[in-house]
Amino acid sequence: MKQQLEQIKTAALSAIAAAENSADCENIRVKYLGKKGELTAILKMMGGLSPEERPIMGQLVNTAKAEVDEALSAKVNEMNEKATELKLKEETIDITMPAKTDKTGKLHPLNTVLNDMIDIFQSMGFDVVDGPEVETDHYNFECLNVPADHPARDMQDTFYLAENILLRTQTSAAQIRTMETRKPPIRVICPGRVFRADEVDATHSPVFHQIEGLVVDKGVTMCDLKGVLEQFAHEIYGPDTKVKFRPSFFPFTEPSVEVDVSCSECGGKGCRVCKGAGWIEILGAGMVHPNVLRSCGIDPEEYSGFAFGIGLDRLTTTRYKISDIRLLFENDKRFLDQF
């Protein structure tokens, strides 16, 4: 029996030495020390021994059990330590690595300038309205006093989606939609994207942005137009900016003007930004043509109004001294990050 005990112990110890993981250890514990384990079974066989031998054998079995138990605990501890060490090694933090920074996005320069303009006009009592980018010939041209054979259409060729359905060439279409749905007094601006079949170069893009303005009320005059646009120019370009109104032609306004501001870069002396002119053209405007009012059901004998169309892209390139309009549309993050 002693010999048998010795064999079991040796087998248990070598199994412990060969154990590779905690599952192995658990199997060994059950096999040798568990209720039905081999060492427990030997204790049960002691009934057949003489009273003298029993305590001696009992002690031997208990010692063997303690030895196996201790070896097993040591093995489990060793495994746990190894696992911790491995985990620590895998999870080392390299404190010399550059930290990850949170990058927050920012507004595109066009939107920054647009938001400033919306603030300026809202402070003068204008509402912001929206209009569709896909327009009908009726709203984009006909109602704006530009019939099918009008030469002004030549300058505004565009992309036609179907006969009489086109990508709008000007935000002016929003004037008509507004006058059809609102009663005077009307004071609105309509910012948005417009489209023309233009060749791409440093100052032209087939997609660009305008902000349309419209005021209709009783007794609105050219003085109101000048006052509003001068105020706007001073707020955008600074109070010393000079504003020039040049006679011009638009089919939907009479009289019509184009508005220039003194170049904010050179103060009017002439430089690269204003191409030597000292002035920068920023918008077209005029008193709403009676035909346009009439086409929207507004009596031109009772009401008058003025309208304007500002080029947002031009305003943005001059404000940030951007030399090429294409940069605004390429969405190169390295360029946009500068603003």
Residue 308 as a binder of ligand DAH (CB under 6 A): the answer is yes
Our CB check for ligand DAH shows the closer of 32 and 250 to be: 250
CB of 314 to ligand DAH, least distance (A): 12
CB of 231 to ligand DAH, least distance (A): 17
Residue type at 254 in one-letter notation: E
Which of the 8 DSSP states describes residue 19? -
Count of residues interacting with ligand DAH (CB under 6 A): 11
Our CB check for ligand DAH shows the closer of 37 and 311 to be: 311
What long-range pairs does 10-18 form, CB within 8 A, spacing at least 24? 12/38, 12/39, 12/68, 12/71, 13/67, 13/68, 13/71, 16/68, 16/71, 16/72, 16/75, 17/75
Q: Which of residues 204-223 bind ligand DAH (CB under 6 A)?
A: 212
CB of 109 to ligand DAH, least distance (A): 21
Query: Which residues make beta-bridge pairs with 201?
Result: 204
CB of 172 to ligand DAH, least distance (A): 4
Residue 285 as a binder of ligand DAH (CB under 6 A): the answer is yes
Q: According to CB under 6 A, which one of 140, 158, 172, 264 is a site residue for ligand DAH?
A: 172
Q: According to CB under 6 A, which one of 307, 312, 315, 328 is a site residue for ligand DAH?
A: 307
Residue 121 as a binder of ligand DAH (CB under 6 A): the answer is no
Q: Closest by alpha carbon to 199, among 325, 316, 310?
A: 325
CB of 308 to ligand DAH, least distance (A): 5
Query: Which residues make beta-bridge pairs with 280?
Result: 261
CB of 220 to ligand DAH, least distance (A): 13
Q: According to CB under 6 A, which one of 126, 250, 279, 303 is a site residue for ligand DAH?
A: 250
Helical H segments across 141-283, by residue range: 173-181, 222-237
User: From residue 148, how far is each of 51, 132, 151, 173, 191 by CA, in Å?
Assistant: 126, 21, 9, 15, 26
Between the two ends of the chain, the Cα-to-Cα distance in Å is: 90
Decide the pairing of beta strands 304-311 and 207-217.
antiparallel
CB of 281 to ligand DAH, least distance (A): 11
Our CB check for ligand DAH shows the closer of 253 and 317 to be: 253
In 34-61, which positions are buried (b, 16+ CB within 10 angstroms) versus exposed (e)?
eeebbbeebeeeeeeeeeeeeeebeebb
* Separation between Cα atoms, residue 320 and residue 339, nearest integer Å: 8
Tokens 């303690």 appear where?
A: 66
Piece in contact with ligand DAH (CB under 6 A), picked from 31-39, 126-134, 303-311, 323-331:
303-311
User: For the chain, how many helices (H) and strands (E)?
Assistant: 12, 10
Residue 170 as a binder of ligand DAH (CB under 6 A): the answer is yes
Piece in contact with ligand DAH (CB under 6 A), picked from 46-54, 107-115, 283-291, 331-339:
283-291
Our CB check for ligand DAH shows the closer of 75 and 168 to be: 168
Residue 251 as a binder of ligand DAH (CB under 6 A): the answer is no
* Sign for the pseudo-dihedral over CA of 155, 156, 159, 165: negative
Q: According to CB under 6 A, which one of 131, 251, 286, 305 is a site residue for ligand DAH?
A: 286
**Which stretches of the chain bind ligand DAH, using CB under 6 A?**
170, 172, 212, 250, 253, 284-286, 307-309
